[in-house]
């Protein structure tokens, strides 16, 4: 009798284990986590409740843990042009959601697009998406198609967390461990912030919440993957100005994913992704509604006509017109200065594109043909960098300091299409498109 009783004990224990832990898992198999040795049994539920005293109210909490595909490696925290972007780090899918949900958060699924894959945190400059696969590579992505438009190499460190800095015109990037780096768009390392954090995943740039200061919000997976940590780091000094600890329900469930700071609905928002679980929007600050656009007439120092204008930012703009004249303002149009330099007065200037306060391209199309002139010293001197017999240049554009494009009327049966890869110094044919095809 005793032997039979003892024999039943293992069977009973096995049955108890099967019944009691039928819905328990070890961590999240789709979570992208920093190295850990913790192997606790946990429930499959993320805790997005902020810690006591957290000063930033929740605007929305979008739980996607039960949406198939979305809950299998999603780390993105991004909003651009009315859509939220959820990218998978372990695949090539980006899910795009309309911002018609509660609190202006994700609502209905708009569509899904494919991309190069493996990106973790996302950033945007307002036009493109950027993301890195935890290597020194950073991709520029088309937000509508997911296509890779450009590849950067940020030699200072691998890119897991990334943030676009609109003030410095470049990228902050970091990996799980190590320092935080700033690179310009040519991949040149410009600044390093010393960091001892070991599981950084998301990052957002903020120069709005506090006057005259710029910060990085860093979303970090806490020790043992049972907490998430949010840090506000002062960029100039590298000092942590604030930190908050989010306690998770269980090990590796809802760990920190991507993060982003953005302006939406007159609010400065912080987006935090709890991997495979939820995207949460926090309000950092209420912002005044944008002032309505007001047009005011400004006085030109010229008596000749102006045909084209190119604004660089709120302060700097260039204009060009008849008789080879170029104007520039650096104080919002309060004063316009004649910077025509040595451009021949015999040709009217119909198009101008300004890259910054010192560099600009203009086109002239007198009877002899089409000319392009370049200045790199604010208009003090201009260099003729292209002459094309015949034709008429209709538009100029520069995508960055190197790449410039010019398009115009047909020459020799083909549309005028020119491209420069060295800032407008030299030009070559961009393509061959017969003039029988529609164009302008």
DSSP 342-376: T--TTS-EEEEEESSSS-EEEEE--TTEEEEEEES
- Rounded Cα–Cα distance for residues 20 and 15 (Å): 8
* φ, ψ dihedrals at 144, nearest 5°: -95, -30
**Residues 98 and 236 sit within 8 Å (Cβ to Cβ):** no
* φ, ψ dihedrals at 96, nearest 5°: -110, 125
**Residues 203 and 163 sit within 8 Å (Cβ to Cβ):** yes
Strand locations in 265-390, DSSP E? 267-274, 278-286, 306-311, 317-321, 325-329, 337-338, 349-354, 360-364, 369-375, 383-389
**Residues 135 and 119 sit within 8 Å (Cβ to Cβ):** no
pLDDT given at position 7: 37
Higher pLDDT pick, 370 / 3: 370
Burial class (CB in 10 A: 0-12, 13-18, 19+), 198: middle
**Residues 219 and 255 sit within 8 Å (Cβ to Cβ):** no
Is the per-residue pLDDT at 121 higher than 60?
yes
- Rounded Cα–Cα distance for residues 2 and 197 (Å): 58
Three-class secondary structure of residue 400 per DSSP: coil
**Residues 356 and 312 sit within 8 Å (Cβ to Cβ):** yes
Is the per-residue pLDDT at 148 higher than 90?
yes
Over the stretch 223-281, which tens digit does the pLDDT of each residue have? 777 899 999 999 999 999 999 999 987 666 689 999 999 999 999 999 999 998 999 99
Higher pLDDT pick, 27 / 214: 214
The fold adopted by the segment(s) 306-429 is Neuraminidase (2.120.10)
List C-alpha distances in Å: 344 to 340, 364, 382. 9, 9, 10
Question: How crowded is the C-beta side of 347, counted as CA atoms within 13 Å?
Answer: 23
| Local confidence band at 42 (pLDDT 50, 70, 90 cut-offs) | very low
pLDDT given at position 34: 57
Q: Which residues contact 200 (CB under 8 A, 6 or more apart)?
A: 160, 161, 174, 175, 176, 177, 180, 218, 219, 220
Is the per-residue pLDDT at 437 higher than 90?
no
Is the per-residue pLDDT at 87 higher than 80?
yes
Q: Which of 30-44, 129-143, 192-206 has the lowest mean pLDDT?
A: 30-44
Of 151, 157, 84, 149, residue with least CA distance to 122 = 84
Q: Which of 22-31, 60-69, 285-294, 354-363 has the lowest mean pLDDT?
A: 22-31
pLDDT given at position 296: 84
Is the per-residue pLDDT at 434 higher than 60?
yes
Over the stretch 152-204, which tens digit does the pLDDT of each residue have? 988 777 999 999 999 999 999 999 999 999 999 888 899 999 999 999 999 99
Q: What is the DSSP string of 410-436?
A: EETTEEEEEEESSTTSS-EE----BTT
CATH node for 58-286: 2.40.128.630
Is the per-residue pLDDT at 72 higher than 80?
yes
pLDDT given at position 18: 31
pLDDT given at position 16: 30
What average pLDDT score do residues 271-298 get? 90
pLDDT given at position 202: 97
CA 409 to chain centre: 35
pTM of the model: 0.64
Over the stretch 341-369, which tens digit does the pLDDT of each residue have? 999 999 999 999 999 999 999 999 887 88
Every domain of the chain and the residues it spans: 58-286, 306-429
- Rounded Cα–Cα distance for residues 220 and 248 (Å): 13
Higher pLDDT pick, 15 / 422: 422
List C-alpha distances in Å: 112 to 28, 91, 352, 369, 436. 23, 13, 38, 47, 37
Over the stretch 384-401, which tens digit does the pLDDT of each residue have? 999 989 888 989 999 888
Instruction: Give CA torsion, residues 261, 263, 264, 266, to 10 deg.
Output: 130
What average pLDDT score do residues 128-156 get? 93
| Local confidence band at 5 (pLDDT 50, 70, 90 cut-offs) | very low
- Rounded Cα–Cα distance for residues 343 and 267 (Å): 47
């Amino acid at each position: 009798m005793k032997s039979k009783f003892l024999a039943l004990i293992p069977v009973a224990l096995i049955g108890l284990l099967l019944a009691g832990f039928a819905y328990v898992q070890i961590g999240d198999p789709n979570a992208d986590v920093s190295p850990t040795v913790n192997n606790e049994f946990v429930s499959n539920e993320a805790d997005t409740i902020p810690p006591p005293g957290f000063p930033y109210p929740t605007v929305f909490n979008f739980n996607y843990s039960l949406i198939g595909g979305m809950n299998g490696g999603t780390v993105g925290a991004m909003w651009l042009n009315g859509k939220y972007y959820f990218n998978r780090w372990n695949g090539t899918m980006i899910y795009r959601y309309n911002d018609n949900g509660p609190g202006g958060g994700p609502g209905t699924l708009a569509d899904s697009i494919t991309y190069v894959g493996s990106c973790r945190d996302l950033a945007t400059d307002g036009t493109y998406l950027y993301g890195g696969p935890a290597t020194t590579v950073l991709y520029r992505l088309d937000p509508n198609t997911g296509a890779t438009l450009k590849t950067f190499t940020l030699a200072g460190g691998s890119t897991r967390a990334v943030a676009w800095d609109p003030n410095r015109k470049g990228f902050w990037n970091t990996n799980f461990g190590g320092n935080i780096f700033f690179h310009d768009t040519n991949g040149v390392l410009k600044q390093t912030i010393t960091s001892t954090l070991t599981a950084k995943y998301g990052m957002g740039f903020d120069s709005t919440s506090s006057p005259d200061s710029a910060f990085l919000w860093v979303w970090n997976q806490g020790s043992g993957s049972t907490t998430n940590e949010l840090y506000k780091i002062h960029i100039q000094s590298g000092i942590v100005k604030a930190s908050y600890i989010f306690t998770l329900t269980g090990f590796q469930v809802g760990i920190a994913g991507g993060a982003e700071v953005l302006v939406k609905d007159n609010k400065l928002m912080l987006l935090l992704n709890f991997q495979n679980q939820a995207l949460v929007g926090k309000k950092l600050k209420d912002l005044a509604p944008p002032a309505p656009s007001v047009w005011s007439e400004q006085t030109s120092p010229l008596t000749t006509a102006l045909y084209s204008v190119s604004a660089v930012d709120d302060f700097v703009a260039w204009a060009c017109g008849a008789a080879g004249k170029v104007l520039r303002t650096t104080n919002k149009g309060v004063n316009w200065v004649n910077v025509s330099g040595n451009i021949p007065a015999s040709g009217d200037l119909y198009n101008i594109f300004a890259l910054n306060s010192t560099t600009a391209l203009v086109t002239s199309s007198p009877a002899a043909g089409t000319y392009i002139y370049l200045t790199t010293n604010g208009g003090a001197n201009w260099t003729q960098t292209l002459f094309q017999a015949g034709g008429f240049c209709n538009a100029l554009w520069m995508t960055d300091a190197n790449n410039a494009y010019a398009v115009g009327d047909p020459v020799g049966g083909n549309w005028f299409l020119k491209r420069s890869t060295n800032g407008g110094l030299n030009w070559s044919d961009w393509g061959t498109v017969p003039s029988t095809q529609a164009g302008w």
